[in-house]
Each structure stands twice: as C-alpha cells, then as structure tokens.
Structure 1
Amino acid sequence: MTSQDKVSIKHAIPLFEGIDKFDEFQINRMCLVTGVTAGETILKRNDETTDVFLIIDGTVSVRDYSIDGKEVSYSEISTGGIFGEFAAIDGRPRSASIEAKTDATIASMSAKDFRKLIASDGAFGLRLAEHLVSKARGLSQRVFEYGALSVRQRLHAEILRLCDTEAANGEVCTISPAPSHYELATRIATHREAVTKELNRLVSQGIARLERRSITITDLPRLRRAVSGDDLA
C-alpha cells in the first residue's frame, strides 16, 4: 500500500475521525504514504524535521541510545497511532528515535497542515490534548517506576502494561507475540539476564507460562500485588 488512493487516512487514524472541516480526500492530499521495512530507522533523535507520521499499518518502536550504545525503549506505537507530533507542535528537534519494528505503511503530514487541522476543529484539538496528556501520564509513571521500584517490580509492571486491557481486568493474560527478553530489558533499564531470571521465577511460582514468542500470566491479581509492594514469596 503506497498510494493515498488505496486508503482513507482519516478513517485509518482514530484521532482524525470526526474532523468536520476536512474530508477524507482533503486529508489524503495533505499526506505522503510510504512503506518501511522492519528495522528501518524512520526518525533519529535531534532530527530537525517537523512532519507528523500516521501509522496506517504496522508497529514502530520509540527508543534511544546512550553514548556507549546502551539501548533504551520507551514504547511501541501500532496501527492507527501517530508519532512526531511533539516537533510539529513546538518546532523543536526530535526527542527520540523511531524504528520500524515490523514492515509498515506510514503517512507523513507537514507540521503546517497538522496545525491547520488543530486550528480548524475544536473537538480535534481536545482529542489531541487528551492524547498528549495520556503520553505524559505514561512517561510520568515510568519515571516513578525507575526511581521507586526494584528491577523485579519494574518487570512485573511492564508485563501488566503489555496485557490487553480487557484481559487485565481478569485472572489470565496472554501476551503474543511477546517481546524478547532483551527487548523487555531495554524497557525497564536492566539487562537480559535479569529478565530471564525473573521470568523463570514467575514460572516456578506458577504465575507465568512461557512458550515460543508468548508469555501467559495465569494469576494477574498476584502479579498486581507484587508491583504494589506485596512481594512474591
């Protein structure tokens, strides 16, 4: 999929639904749709570009690297999501690098057109504000976890985040495909061996089951208690 003629960007991106003053054809004309391959770098931290990117299909990773090459993963954004909106709004350099986790189809929109959409529709502006607040809350939670929780608790918290919202309200959750142990380590600021050790511990406790590319949590309430401070025996 590489042509605006084959997709309605307005309908593909939930944040854009309900924009009244621009129809799907006008929004399509504002965008350039391209394909990227898994592993491809889409944006680099400190880039001075300001386009917004809309994920028509696929998943990207938001990450960064220290001077000595240590990888830190912030989040993943999948089909229907957007990235690059910070630079489009404040005009400052990119705050993180974006890499394609899977093959993906992505539309780019100039900051000028994105700001035109915001100015044209108060309801869209409110939804965007809610979207940005949600991102800020997520980052605040991670900062808290890095400062207040042990590596073990941070892993438990990350697993709970990966669980589907509906499943997470119950007893059991299956994460599939699950991140590798290395990927989990980059998300919680630790090393792969610590993740492997704790996942094996959860298995021995009867709380997790590991299969190829999947993690099943069989006792979500107990895992939640562990994050809140009631450590597992």
Structure 2
Amino acid sequence: MSNNKESRLASISLLEGRSDEEKRELEKRCRWWRYKANEQILDKDSNDRDVYFVAEGTVQIVNFSMTGREIALARLHSGNFFGELSAIDGQPRSASVVALEDCLLGSLSPQLFIDQIIGHPELAVRVLGRLATIVRSCDERIMDLSTLGAVDRVYRQLLLLADESPVDPGSWLIRNLPTHKAIAAMASTTRETVARSISQLGAGNIVERKGRILYLRDRDRLEKLAGVLEEGFSR
C-alpha cells in the first residue's frame, strides 16, 4: 500500500517528469517541516544551505530596508521551491523566508540537490530558468524603483495581482486581496500610501472593493494611470 501512496513531492514543478517511485525515494531523503502562518522559516545571512520544496501552503521571500521596512521579493505557492542560490554558491542566505499560511516543507541538503542536478540535466535547465527569472525580476524592480513613484508602483502591483474573471470574460478582480501592509511590501512603499491609492481609485470608480475581493471596474484607466500602456506592460 505504501508504494502506491502519492509522494509529498508529487506537485513540485522542478521534479516534473520524474517517476512516482523516484519522487518517493527523494522524499525519503528530505527532512520535513511544518510551519504556522507568519512563522519565520529562514533568516537572511543564516548559514542554512538546504533547498526547500513547498509541498503545502505559501511562503514569501522578504528583505528589510535599513529602517526595518519589509520588502517582499516573491510569493511561492505549493509546488514551488527555494534556497537554490545558497546550495549552488555556498554563501549565506540572501533573503528571509516567512510562511504566509500553514506550510509543509521538505528540505534537501545542498550536496543531494547538486547530485540531482548532475544526474538529471532537465533539472539543471529548470534551475537555470529560475535563476534567469530572478535576474529579470531584479532588473524590472530596479527600473520601477528608479523611474516610478510610490503610487504608480501600487497601481502596477494591483494589475499584477489581478486575474481575469472565469465567469465574466473581460472583467478583472483580485481574490483574497492582500493586506495593505503586504501590498506595501510588494510595491516598496508604506501602508498609508497603499490605503490612499486604493481609496482614490475607488472614488474614481476604477476599482470597487467587496469584502476580500477587489474588482477592477476600469482596467484600461488603471493601466493609463500606472503608465504601463506605452511600455508594453502585459499581465
């Protein structure tokens, strides 16, 4: 019976194409951890070198400014992984990681991770793709911080968070709208700026909030306000 049980690594995108048996064997070589929402998983500059697989839940990669303001770098949902930089270069952690909700994580030692990459070239290509994504994301963030005001960054973040409605094509909404603090961390600004920006958009009938859902009533106007149309911004 145990051989037929689905591996806790079944949904990990990095391992796509590996057999169920291979995933179960790799699962046995992982250490497993459970974290509660808002619990710290890793600290920046820590010497932990493991690679972590997100089997359940969502984590956030964060950094902090000199004044202690939280800056969100990425959100990783179940099926994702993190920690590959330290496993590859042997350096301390470049950022902190926090659980956004209850999580189940599997950690793999750096040597076992490297062994997997060497033995399975398709994994190496996926890791390279991840690293390329990180570089591009950093480039975009640097450009935004250099050229956009705080309010513009909030507008862009709302556009990035929005999904097209499955029941009303052409309509956009943000389900489970993050807190003002969380959006501020994503946009590298303050909670007050986020609250003021969303309030102004609501007054202009550009967005409408109902509970935890934010409806983008006029996405085109929001794009114009964010100055994204002429830059070829896409969602």
Letter in 2 for 1:187: M
Letter in 2 for 1:108: S
Matches within 5 A, 1:100-115: 100-115=99-114
Q: How far off its partner does 1:81 sit? A: 1.0
Q: Does 1:79 align with 2:78?
A: yes
For 1:24 and 1:143, locate their aligned partners in 2 and report how far apart those are by CA, in whole Å. 38
Unaligned runs of 5+ in 2: 231-235
Q: Does 1:28 align with 2:27?
A: yes
The answer on whether the counterparts of 1:171 and 1:221 sit within 8 Å (CA) in structure 2 is: no
For 2:46 and 2:13, locate their aligned partners in 1 and report how far apart those are by CA, in whole Å. 27
Q: Does 1:194 align with 2:193?
A: yes
3-state SS in 1 of match to 2:54: strand
Determine the structure 2 residue equivalent to 1:126: 125
Determine the structure 1 residue equivalent to 2:182: 183
The answer on whether the counterparts of 2:62 and 2:96 sit within 8 Å (CA) in structure 1 is: yes
For 1:134 and 1:155, locate their aligned partners in 2 and report how far apart those are by CA, in whole Å. 22
Over aligned residue pairs, what C-alpha RMSD do you find?
Answer: 2.3
Q: Does 1:41 align with 2:59?
A: no
Deviations 1:21-74 (A, max 9, x none): x81222112211221101111100000110001111101111122343222221
For 1:142 and 1:7, locate their aligned partners in 2 and report how far apart those are by CA, in whole Å. 39
3-state SS in 2 of match to 1:190: coil
The answer on whether the counterparts of 1:60 and 1:98 sit within 8 Å (CA) in structure 2 is: yes
The answer on whether the counterparts of 1:164 and 1:173 sit within 8 Å (CA) in structure 2 is: yes
Determine the structure 1 residue equivalent to 2:233: none
Q: How far off its partner does 1:184 sit? A: 1.1
Letter in 1 for 2:89: D
The answer on whether the counterparts of 1:87 and 1:93 sit within 8 Å (CA) in structure 2 is: yes
Determine the structure 2 residue equivalent to 1:62: 61
Q: How far off its partner does 1:146 sit? A: 0.7
Letter in 2 for 1:174: L
The answer on whether the counterparts of 1:59 and 1:100 sit within 8 Å (CA) in structure 2 is: yes
Q: How far off its partner does 1:176 sit? A: 1.7
For 1:48 and 1:229, locate their aligned partners in 2 and report how far apart those are by CA, in whole Å. 40
Q: How far off its partner does 1:116 sit? A: 0.8
Letter in 2 for 1:42: I
For 1:117 and 1:74, locate their aligned partners in 2 and report how far apart those are by CA, in whole Å. 27
The answer on whether the counterparts of 2:42 and 2:97 sit within 8 Å (CA) in structure 1 is: yes
Q: How far off its partner does 1:151 sit? A: 1.3
For 2:72 and 2:149, locate their aligned partners in 1 and report how far apart those are by CA, in whole Å. 18
Number of residue pairs matched by the alignment: 225
Unaligned runs of 5+ in 1: none
Q: How far off its partner does 1:7 sit? A: 4.8
Letter in 2 for 1:204: A
3-state SS in 2 of match to 1:48: coil
3-state SS in 1 of match to 2:10: helix
Deviates more, 1:49-58 or 1:202-211: 202-211
For 1:80 and 1:157, locate their aligned partners in 2 and report how far apart those are by CA, in whole Å. 26
Deviations 1:84-141 (A, max 9, x none): 1111111111010001110111111111111111111112211221122122212221
For 2:192 and 2:70, locate their aligned partners in 1 and report how far apart those are by CA, in whole Å. 15
The answer on whether the counterparts of 1:63 and 1:71 sit within 8 Å (CA) in structure 2 is: yes
Q: How far off its partner does 1:166 sit? A: 8.2
3-state SS in 2 of match to 1:49: coil
3-state SS in 1 of match to 2:98: strand
